[in-house]
Structure 1
Amino acid sequence: MDVPGPTPRLLLRPMTDDDLDDMAALLGDPVVMAHYPRPRTRDEAQAWIDRTRRSYRDHGFGLWVMVDRSTGEFLGDCGLTVQHVDGVDELEVGYHVRPDRQGEGLATEAALAARDFAREVLGATRLIAIIAPENVASQRVASKIGLGVEKRARYGDDQREVLIHAGVP
């Protein structure tokens, strides 16, 4: 499976079951999940990995583990997923960074690599980001990779209000 090339500080690699401890810590962290309905349990983190691996099989892409190139340290995840919004399947870029490494530009660096992968490898002509209206940091990342607010929508099982940022990758 293809993955985005390395960035100056990051390697992106496929997610595996061996990432469960790191993914459970990431997705279970209340800071990381502040703009989601709630933090995820360990079982839900395993389901996240399972969905990601199905996406690799079904689409040839998914979320990738974000690793520090110099230390090999797990930093978060970033990648591309298919999301159903307002009756349409959309290609979304998403990202989560460990709370102790937020604010360093890692999400932007990884999201740029995912955006370029969407354009250059997948031939995508549209990319979105689904972001909670109060998540200003994620909105800044979306803006930095060329995605602007397109509309408000209802999303997820709970039909929470989100902003759809969109653009050409």
Structure 2
Amino acid sequence: MTVLTTERLRIEEMTEADLDDFAALLGDVFVMRYYPRPKTRAETLEWIFLNRRRYCEQGHGLWKLSRLEDGAFVGDCGLTIQRVDGVDELELGYHVAPRCQRTGLATEAARACRDWASTELGAARVIAIIHPDNVASQRVATNAGLTLEKRTTGYGPGTEVMIYATAL
């Protein structure tokens, strides 16, 4: 089901049929360099199921991105609930295939999902949780209107992350 369209993107629910594309994306060492490790194919399938449960239970999750012009797979972007410093936050997250990076597609998707959070969910704010070394992700967050709010630890003992946020 298509959730949104932008000038260049279709943003839609992911399905099991997308496993090959997502396994290549989330199994890519470069894409996943700021995570503990790349995902296996089996872990990617579970991740797809997790997002499908989120669609049913929360009305949102991470969504598949594809180019409108040719249907080519781009990556994912969307909204998930994350616990940060004991508070549930609405996180704007994204992963983009290396061949599509530095094209503005991640920012285009992030802005659309940010706006959807406001109009469809009535959210008061969104955040992005970003590894301190992930300059490209910081740039996407900034271009989507988020600003650095704080640094905190999470996602493993002693792992520092940056929290970017914006009021909606």
In 1, distance between residues paired with 2:165 and 2:42?
A: 32
In the TM superposition, what whole-angstrom CA distance separates every residue of 1:50-70 from its partner, at most 9, and x where no partner exists? 110111111001111000101
Q: Which residue does 2:122 correspond to in 1?
A: 123
Instruction: Report the 3-state secondary structure (helix = DSSP H, G, I; strand = E; otherwise coil) of the residue aligned with 1:121.
Output: helix
Establish whether residue 92 from structure 1 lines up as the match of residue 91 from structure 2: yes
TM-score, normalised via structure 2 length: 0.96
In 1, distance between residues paired with 2:15 and 2:22?
A: 10
Q: Which residue does 1:7 correspond to in 2?
A: 6
Task: Tell me if structure 2 keeps the 8 A contact 1:2–1:60.
Answer: no
Q: Which residue does 1:147 correspond to in 2?
A: 146
- The number of residues matched between the two structures is 168
Instruction: Report the 3-state secondary structure (helix = DSSP H, G, I; strand = E; otherwise coil) of the residue aligned with 2:39.
Output: coil
Q: Which residue does 2:135 correspond to in 1?
A: 136
Shift of 1:168: 1.2
TM-score, normalised via structure 1 length: 0.96
Instruction: Report the 3-state secondary structure (helix = DSSP H, G, I; strand = E; otherwise coil) of the residue aligned with 2:121.
Output: coil
Identity %: 57
Task: Tell me if structure 1 keeps the 8 A contact 2:124–2:167.
Answer: yes
Long gaps (5+) in structure 1? none
Task: Tell me if structure 1 keeps the 8 A contact 2:2–2:13.
Answer: no
Runs of 4+ with deviation above 3 angstroms: none
Q: Which residue does 2:104 correspond to in 1?
A: 105
Partner letter of residue 28 of structure 2?
D
Long gaps (5+) in structure 2? none
